[in-house]
Structure 1
Amino acid sequence: MVRDLVMPKLGLTMTEGVLAEWRVSPGQPFKTGDVLVVVETDKIASEVEADSDGVLIETTIPVGETVAVGTPIARWSADGSGAAPAPVNGTASPAVEAPAPPAKAAPKTGPLPAPLRDGERVLSTPLARRRAQDLGVDLTTLTGSGPRGRIKMADVEAAAQRPVSTPAPVSEPALSPVAALAGERSKPTTMQATIARRLTAAKRDVPHFYLAAEAEVSELMALREKLNADAEPGSPRVSMTHLVLAAVGRALAATPDVDRVWDDSTPGGEILSLGRGDIGMAVDTPRGLVAPVLRGGARLPLDRLARDAAALTERARNGRLSAEDFEGGAITVSNAGMHNVTFMTSIINPGQSSILGVGSVRSVFRPDESGAPVLKRELGLVLSADHRLFDGVAALAFLNRIIAGLERPLRLLRTA
Structure 2
Amino acid sequence: PARRPPPSARRLMAEAGVAAAAIPPSGPGGQIRKEDVVRALEARPPAPAPATAPAPVAPAPQALRAVPEGDRERVVPMTPLRKTVARRLVEAQHTAAILTTFNEVDMTRVLALREQHGERFLARHGVKLGFMSFFVKASVEALRAFPAVNGEIRGESVVYRDRYDIGVAVGGGKGLVVPVVRDADARSFAEIEEAIAGLAKKAKDNRITMEDLAGGTFTISNGGIYGSLLSTPILNPPQSGILGLHKIERRPVVEDGDRIVVRPMMYLALSYDHRLVDGREAVSFLVRVKECIEDPERMLLEV
- Normalised to the residue count of structure 2, the TM-score between the two structures is 0.76
1:324 paired to 2:211? yes
Q: Relative to 1, partners in 2 of residues 1:263 and 1:413: Cα closer, same or farther, differing over 3 Å? A: same
Counterparts of 1:14 and 1:322, CA distance in 2:
20
Q: Give 1:13 deviation, angstroms.
A: 10
Between 324-333 and 376-385, the greater mean CA deviation after superposition: 324-333
Give deviations 1:56-94, integer Å, cap 9, x for gaps: xxxxxx999xxxxxxxxxxxxxxxxxxxxxxxxxxxxxx
1:273 paired to 2:269? no
Read off the aligned partner of 1:277 and give its amino acid letter. Y
Residue 367 (structure 1) aligned to one of 254, 263, 275: 254
1:244 paired to 2:135? yes
Q: Is contact 1:215-1:406 (8 Å) kept?
A: yes
Larger Rg: 1
Q: Is contact 2:132-2:193 (8 Å) kept?
A: no
- State how many pairs are aligned: 259
Give the match for residue 335 of structure 1: 222
**Pairwise mapping of residues 11-410 of structure 1 onto structure 2 (< 5 A)?**
15-16=31-32, 41=37, 46-47=42-43, 183-231=73-121, 232-233=123-124, 235-264=126-155, 269-410=156-297
Greater share of residues in helix? 2
Greater share of residues in strand? 1
Counterparts of 2:99 and 2:107, CA distance in 1:
25
Q: Relative to 1, partners in 2 of residues 1:211 and 1:369: Cα closer, same or farther, differing over 3 Å? A: same
Give deviations 1:120-169, integer Å, cap 9, x for gaps: xxxxxxxxxxxxxxxxxxxxxxxxxxxxxxxxxxxxxxxxxxxxxxxxxx
SS state at 1:321 partner: coil
Read off the aligned partner of 2:74 and give its amino acid letter. E
> Which structure exhibits the higher relative contact order, with contacts defined as CA atoms closer than 8 Å and separated by 6 or more residues?
2
Counterparts of 1:314 and 1:11, CA distance in 2:
28
Q: Give 1:310 deviation, angstroms.
A: 1.6
Gaps of 5+ in 2: 1-21, 48-66
Gaps of 5+ in 1: 1-5, 19-38, 49-61, 65-180
- Normalised to the residue count of structure 1, the TM-score between the two structures is 0.56
Q: Is contact 1:281-1:293 (8 Å) kept?
A: yes
Q: Is contact 1:383-1:399 (8 Å) kept?
A: yes
Counterparts of 1:349 and 1:360, CA distance in 2:
22
Among the aligned pairs, what percent are the same residue?
28
Counterparts of 1:383 and 1:336, CA distance in 2:
13
Counterparts of 2:178 and 2:27, CA distance in 1:
16
The RMSD of aligned alpha carbons is: 3.1
Q: Give 1:189 deviation, angstroms.
A: 1.2
Q: Give 1:414 deviation, angstroms.
A: 4.4
Q: Give 1:339 deviation, angstroms.
A: 1.6
Give deviations 1:157-215, integer Å, cap 9, x for gaps: xxxxxxxxxxxxxxxxxxxxxxxx99432321111111111111111221100101100
SS state at 1:271 partner: strand
SS state at 1:221 partner: helix
Give deviations 1:231-283, integer Å, cap 9, x for gaps: 2345211111222112112222333333211123xxxx221122111111111
Q: Is contact 2:255-2:261 (8 Å) kept?
A: yes
SS state at 2:129 partner: coil
Q: Give 1:226 deviation, angstroms.
A: 2.1
Give the match for residue 95 of structure 1: none
Q: Relative to 1, partners in 2 of residues 1:348 and 1:13: Cα closer, same or farther, differing over 3 Å? A: farther
Q: Relative to 1, partners in 2 of residues 1:240 and 1:44: Cα closer, same or farther, differing over 3 Å? A: farther
Q: Relative to 1, partners in 2 of residues 1:339 and 1:383: Cα closer, same or farther, differing over 3 Å? A: same
Counterparts of 2:169 and 2:30, CA distance in 1:
22
Read off the aligned partner of 2:110 and give its amino acid letter. L
Between 251-260 and 359-368, the greater mean CA deviation after superposition: 251-260
Q: Is contact 1:250-1:299 (8 Å) kept?
A: no
Q: Is contact 2:106-2:266 (8 Å) kept?
A: yes
Q: Give 1:227 deviation, angstroms.
A: 2.7
Read off the aligned partner of 1:216 and give its amino acid letter. D
Q: Is contact 1:345-1:384 (8 Å) kept?
A: yes
